[in-house]
Amino acid sequence: MTIKPGYDERLTNEDLAPLRSQTWGTYNIFAFWMSDVHSVGGYITAGSLFSLGLVSWQVLASLLVGILIVQLFCNLVAKPSQVTGTPYPVICRASFGVKGANIPAIIRGLIAVAWYGIQTYLASSAFMIVALRFYPELGPYADVATSGFVGLSSLGWASFMALWVIQALVFWRGMEAIRKFIDWAGPAVYVVMIALAAYLVAKAGIDKVGLSLGEVRYQGWDAVPVMLNAIALVVSYFSGPMLNFGDFSRYGKSFAAVKAGNVWGLPVNFIGFSLLTVITTSATLPVFGRLIIDPVETVSRIDNTYAVVLGAFTFMTATIGINIVANFVSPAFDFSNVAPQHISWRMGGMIAAVASIFITPWNLYNNPAVIHYTLDVLGGFIGPLFGILIADYYVVRRQHVVVDDLYSMSPTGRYWYTDGYNRAAILSVIPSALVPVLCAVVPALSGLANFSWFIGVGLGFATYVALMRRTPQAS
């Protein structure tokens, strides 16, 4: 890619520069969302919603409302990047300043590093199941007590690093390789999910399968707060990928193609996947004698070796898919944005990948208190950053961004503000993130925790608009 003359080298490289060719169509965006939804985490999240004590139609209604909200916000955040051809950290320069954009970039990058490690660890669990199925003599090496290092067994380390290398190889080949991977990974998971559901339903008997995974405890108006919580959970689950969706929508050949891909990838795909999930989970009770919400454990209990291998590799592929699209591409752009001269897109991704080893994600994942405070506190910043981005593009700038000035360090540039930082955006983040963080860590506010993303978006949006109106900037 040829970088336009005049762009400051401190703000650009070939990966961060505006795209000259945008080639992704509706199917590519649809496949992106399939990779994002079809994961062990997505499976457990969807299944948990059917365990809230609601009747099935109430759960489906909550899922639909929640995913339609996600679709709306994804369309909003997609447009500025698709129109300008720039990734998330670059479009943030319009609101935070050409230097200040590193603040939202680093925050998003740190969240991605934590989740990248956790998702790789979850995928490695499926890899271990396959290894032990074929080589049961490896059992002693799966014991942390006898062959463990910093909380993970020898076999666990081998499985984790194998998945780590596979993901790095896919990523290293670039965005075109990632596009090809997610184009087939999402549909492949669907094929196996349908086969798994059909197998379990056949063994259980269709009369033993339902769409409720728990006793119905809420009726009438009592169900409304529970449904609202379910809606909030759906939106919160997608909050990370939603924030940096511009990293992918920038490749869309048109905004219409991106919107169409969002329709198929979000409401249609998510509802279909959720129904498959609840049918499969429901069938585990009569087949295995207890309700199993982890799909990896479900396939490990099947008495057919080939089925176990196929299922394990499928969920491994699914987890690799979400990890690359949600937790590899994002920090690649984010960390590259910090020092474009020295950190390429590939180098940024590898920084995230290496950091994910040193945080020992298995210890993070296995300690609910640590994961709660670490990820919820970081997550408290996602809503405000989203609110500020949307407010800046649609309200302050009225959808007008001067792309060349996003790459200019000139004091006369529109996005220079004060020494490269927009104080209005930075000041907006502080109170807007404080409330969601308090909701996550203060027990008395725990009832608002599920709604912290919405609170952050609203506060970030309103505070930023108010401060920008007091200190108007050129658009």
DSSP secondary structure string for all residues of 299-350: HHT-S-HHHHHHHHHHHHHHHHHHHHHHHTHHHHHHHHHH-TTT--HHHHHH
Q: Is 96 exposed, middle or buried (0-12, 13-18, 19+ CB in 10 A)?
A: buried
Contact between residue 95 and residue 425 where contact means Cβ atoms under 8 Å apart: yes
pTM, 2 dp? 0.91
Q: Report residue 183 as tokens.
A: 């184009």
User: Pick from 434, 420, 433, 418: which is nearest to 471 by CA?
Assistant: 418
Distant-in-sequence, close-in-space partners of 180: CB < 8 Å, separation ≥ 6:
none
Structure tokens at 449: 């925790």
| Cα separation, 383 vs 401, whole angstroms | 22
Is residue 475 pLDDT above 60, yes or no? no
Model pLDDT for residues 149-199, shown as the tens digit of each residue: 999 999 999 999 999 999 989 889 888 889 999 999 888 888 888 999 999
Placement of tokens 């295995």 in the chain: 288
Does the structure show a pLDDT above 90 at 389? yes
Structure tokens at 16: 């961060």
pLDDT at 1 over 70: no
Q: Point out the least confidently predicted range of 7-21, 65-79, 281-295.
A: 281-295
**DSSP character at residue 417:** T
Count of CA atoms in the C-beta half-sphere (13 A) of 52: 29
What number is the average pLDDT over the span 234-263?
95
Please, are residues 31 and 321 in contact by the beta-carbon 8 Å criterion? no
CA-to-CA dists, residue 286 to 203, 275, 408, angstroms = 8, 18, 64
Write the DSSP string, 82-128.
HHHT--HHHHTHHHH-TTTTHHHHHHHHHHHHHHHHHHHHHHHHHHH
